[in-house]
DNA sequence: GTGGTCTAGACCACA
DNA sequence: GTGGTCTAGACCACG
């Protein structure tokens, strides 16, 4: 898995890192039960601070993606995060709404937006069967 | 147009305000050429800092949604923001990807996600004909 | 509210701090809606690092005791943390069991243990009516 | 006696092991004078590190629950650990206080808390007469 | 060797 | 002035 970070972005590094890992899990590039690199190793590899990696890992644990063992390190949960509930869907909609409103003002119609979604789903599922 | 702000949210107030206005424009609740409330008035109505409203307005201007005139005040552009270009689409995809990956891990399949998108489009377009 | 920390204890400082604040809330010494000292101020007062205070505050937020606003600071929630559910009670029992087993081996009978519990409840409620 | 360990818990394994043994002693499942399994055997049975078992045993010895003899192995003391003194009671209260404050904030009143304590005492004493 | 904790000090976004 | 983020480097508990 390649991890690309944009240090100029306003999105916090730990957030970007989280996102990359979640994408990796969704794609199946990181298998259930697999160990993620140790906090210090990953930090060294990417060239960021240990604590930044730690923050990303901790939040992934909170959201149910991984389990952190003091000795074994960080392991991808086999069950994964809890299935989406009403609250999650509502939240998702709240975040999507202004994004879509913006896109809509820029002449991106429903068909095109849906096509983008489909593309991303293909990208995620595509590599899952490798 | 109702403006609802969540002061407990981690999303900055000016960002939420921007979003609400963009949604209003997309819905057609705010017509092209229409004047938005003055910085002072809106800040007073919502009970937030003037600087915050100002920041939202300035960014809306930068993105092409409104024009700020010294005398006329803040006016919704008739042409609207520039049509989405490659860069915009790429950016959109970059933001959507981790969101979808996350949803996917929580068992939201493509069909459901698309349905949510469609719902939002309906909500935006629906009131446009009022 | 006095905050006493034991720097020699194996219990992490942020944990002790959390405990002291929770006791303060339970006693009613800290009222709902009241602001806690800023991260830096409390850190300075106690003579510990800012990040340690921050960790305590963040965990109190997660557990529903307080809300953290970027500008207003940290405020005690009026609703407080979620009412105890089955999981919480089960957990409580799991933690208490070895403690009681240990006390029992040291000849602390049920009556005495209950008396200690009652004493603590009195201490908590006592000052609430001041 | 069944020993159940939760490897995902933040509570150290040796601590959990200690707790389980103390509960066993309190229940009377492990009789005074009885030999505990050897370090090597217990470690093998549960599938944990020998050092971990060793640490648990050593601490149990320090606290007066068992005696470790080079030849006889680890034996449960007939007198048991020293009767609770003032210091022990004070310590117990210090640990219980934040737990109770927390439970109190979650609407667990004195009566219910006491009932939980009583339940645990029953569980411990119940099997003692088997 | 792993994560957990703590410190010290810096810069930034927000309002 | 508030919390948020990030860095750097230290010591410790665990197994």
The predicted-structure confidence for A108-126, as pLDDT tens digits, reads as follows 999 999 999 999 999 998 7
**What gap in Å lies between CA A40 and CA A37, rounded to an integer?**
8
Tell me the sheet residues that pair with B67.
B75
- The pLDDT score that the predictor gives to residue C2 is 86
The predicted-structure confidence for D70-118, as pLDDT tens digits, reads as follows 888 999 999 889 999 999 999 999 999 999 999 999 999 999 999 999 9
**What gap in Å lies between CA A32 and CA C46, rounded to an integer?**
44
Distance in angstroms: CA A48, C1' F7: 8
Virtual torsion, Cα C90, C94, C96, C102, nearest 10 deg: 160
CA dihedral over A41, A42, A45, A49, signed as positive or negative? negative
**What gap in Å lies between CA B43 and CA B30, rounded to an integer?**
18
D 2-21 residues inside an 8 A Cβ radius of A: 7-8, 10, 12
Q: Which nucleotides of E are covered by protein (CB under 7 A)?
A: 1-10, 13-15
Distance in angstroms: CA C50, C1' E7: 9
**Tokens 């068909």 belong to which residue?**
A111
Establish whether chain B is in contact with chain D, requiring a minimum of 3 CB pairs below 8 angstroms: no
The full set of domains in chain C, from first to last, is: 13-76 (1.10.10.10), 86-128 (no CATH)
- Checking each nucleotide's C1' against the CA of A53, the nearest proves to be F6
pLDDT, mean over chain C: 95
Query: What 3-state class would DSSP assign to A116?
Result: helix
Q: Do B23 and A98 touch (CB under 8 A)?
A: yes
Query: Averaged over A44-72, what is the pLDDT?
Result: 96
- Checking each nucleotide's C1' against the CA of C53, the nearest proves to be E6
Whether D47 contacts D37, CB under 8 Å = no
The predicted-structure confidence for C27-59, as pLDDT tens digits, reads as follows 999 999 999 999 999 999 999 999 999 999 999
Quote the tokens at residue A54.
């730690």
CA dihedral over A12, A17, A19, A22, signed as positive or negative? negative
Q: Which residues of C touch D20 (CB under 8 A)?
A: 98
D15 CB contact with strand F at below 7 Å? yes
Whether D60 contacts D77, CB under 8 Å = no
Tell me the sheet residues that pair with B35.
B75
- The pLDDT confidence band at residue C19, using thresholds 50, 70 and 90, is very high
The predicted-structure confidence for D29-74, as pLDDT tens digits, reads as follows 998 899 999 999 999 999 999 999 999 999 999 999 999 998 889 9
Task: Provide the 10 A C-beta neighbour count for residue D32.
Answer: 12
The predicted-structure confidence for B59-94, as pLDDT tens digits, reads as follows 999 999 999 998 889 999 988 899 999 999 999 999
- The pLDDT confidence band at residue B130, using thresholds 50, 70 and 90, is very low
Establish whether chain C is in contact with chain D, requiring a minimum of 3 CB pairs below 8 angstroms: yes
What's the gap between Cα D102 and its chain centre? 23
Which DSSP state fits A129? G
**Strand C66-69, strand B73-76: pairing:** unpaired
Listed residue (D57, D63, D2) closest to C103, CA to CA: D63
- The pLDDT score that the predictor gives to residue D130 is 47
Quote the tokens at residue D107.
């609407």
**Tokens 């194996």 belong to which residue?**
C10
Measure in Å the smallest separation between the Cα of D44 and chain A Cα atoms.
19
Which DSSP state fits D122? H
A 52-91 residues inside an 8 A Cβ radius of D: 67, 69-70
CA distances from B22 to A102, A103, B17, B27, D33 (A): 6, 10, 9, 8, 77
Q: Which residues of A touch D7 (CB under 8 A)?
A: 69
| pTM reported for the whole predicted model | 0.93
More confident residue, D31 or A60: A60
- Give the number of beta-carbon pairs within 8 Å between A and B: 130
Q: Give the neighbours of chain A: at least 3 Cβ pairs within 8 Å.
A: B, D
pLDDT, mean over chain D: 93
Virtual torsion, Cα A75, A79, A84, A87, nearest 10 deg: -60
Measure in Å the smallest separation between the Cα of C123 and chain D Cα atoms.
9
- Packed helices C86-105 and D110-126: angle between N→C axes, nearest 10 degrees: 60
């Amino acid at each position: 898995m390649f991890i690309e970070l944009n240090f100029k972005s306003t999105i916090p590094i730990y957030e970007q890192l989280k996102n990359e890992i979640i994408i990796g899990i969704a794609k199946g590039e990181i298998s259930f039960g697999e160990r993620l690199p140790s906090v210090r190793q990953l930090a060294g590899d990417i060239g960021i601070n240990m604590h930044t990696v730690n923050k990303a890992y901790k939040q992934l644990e909170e959201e149910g993606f991984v389990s952190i063992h003091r000795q074994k390190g960080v392991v991808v949960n086999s069950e994964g995060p809890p299935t989406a509930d009403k609250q999650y869907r509502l939240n998702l909609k709240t975040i999507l709404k202004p994004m879509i409103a913006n896109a809509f003002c820029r002449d991106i119609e429903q068909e095109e937006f849906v096509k983008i979604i489909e593309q991303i789903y293909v990208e995620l599922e595509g590599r899952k069967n490798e």
